[in-house]
Amino acid sequence: MTPPSQRVARLAFRDGVFSEGQRAIPEETAVALVYDGGTQAVMMATPADIEDFALGFSLTEGIIAALSDITDFEIVEQANGIEARMWLKPERSQALAARRRNLAGPTGCGLCGIDSLQEALRAPRPVMSDLTVTPAEIEAALASLAPAQALNRETRAVHAAGFWTKEQGLVALREDVGRHNALDKLAGTLAGIAGFSAQGIVVLTSRISVELIQKTAMIGAPIMVAVSAPTALALRLADQAGITLVGIARGDGFEVFTHPQRLVPEPLSHVA
């Protein structure tokens, strides 16, 4: 498999001086998601955790309801990209044929090629949960990302999506050049964990757009935390889905946009 990063020569200019050297940059590869011999989507992605990506995309796009809906799986590296080939149970195959679309988009494009406004703005799955967290736990979830972002430490050019719980801390994290791809990879990883419970926090290193709300709702997580702000549409969908949306999450605090009842007041750990 193509490595997820490579080192390239570069000429740097800092402090008034040019210097030669190398920098690690992330790789980007076309990944075709193929079901029963037909290509459903082609996404530009980091060539790592491809199985997680394919399974997560299948789940968050509603192509399958459970991993058991896939009867066979194969990853095939071609000269110009990677094919993730999946074969579905008959009922899922028939349902997919009824909604088949082709989608070829740039890095992390989550809506390119959608064939109707209704599909693009599909109502998110309702999330029911009585989970509550403190500001200190939000802070801990956010702080858990950086130490686990190996590819970003190397390249400074990829997004991360993580899942954090009170009991386990950071359960899993996946990285990709596309923010939607990172979340799909995370969804695929979580789906493969025996006895997985979605009672935790999805943590993102990106802005919050509508597709990320829809995918988080499909995972079933009641709280999303991101370092940037949501779009207005993402906020409305998070409210509709019952997701507590936390944005602008940095070292000095955060902002809560929807369903604040899940936040239990408590000083942040670094505040006297």
Tokens of 223: 């709280």
Q: Out of 109, 143, 229, 248, which one is annotated catalytic?
A: 109
Question: Do 103 and 52 share a structural domain?
Answer: yes
Question: Do 222 and 183 share a structural domain?
Answer: yes
Question: Do 146 and 256 share a structural domain?
Answer: yes
Q: Is residue 130 part of a domain?
A: no
112 is catalytic: no
Of 70, 89, 120, the domain-final residue:
120
Q: Which domain holds residue 144?
A: 135-262
Q: Is residue 246 part of a domain?
A: yes
Q: pTM of the entire structure? A: 0.91
User: Please, where are the H alpha helices in 81-172?
Assistant: 90-99, 117-120, 135-143, 145-148, 150-155
Q: Is residue 175 part of a domain?
A: yes
Question: Do 165 and 87 share a structural domain?
Answer: no
Question: Do 177 and 81 share a structural domain?
Answer: no
Q: Is residue 8 part of a domain?
A: no
For the chain, how many structural domains are there in total?
Answer: 2
Buried b (16+ CB within 10 A) or exposed e, 155-176: bebbbbbbbbbeeeebbbbbbb
CATH code: domain of residue 229 = 3.40.140.10
pLDDT tens digit at each of 272 positions of the chain: 789 999 999 989 899 999 999 999 999 999 999 999 999 989 999 999 999 999 999 999 999 999 999 999 999 999 999 999 999 999 999 999 887 644 444 455 555 545 555 666 678 889 999 999 999 999 999 999 999 999 999 999 999 999 999 999 999 999 999 999 999 999 999 999 999 999 999 999 999 999 999 999 999 999 999 999 999 989 999 999 999 999 999 988 999 999 999 999 875 555 44
Question: Do 169 and 91 share a structural domain?
Answer: no
Question: Do 173 and 108 share a structural domain?
Answer: no
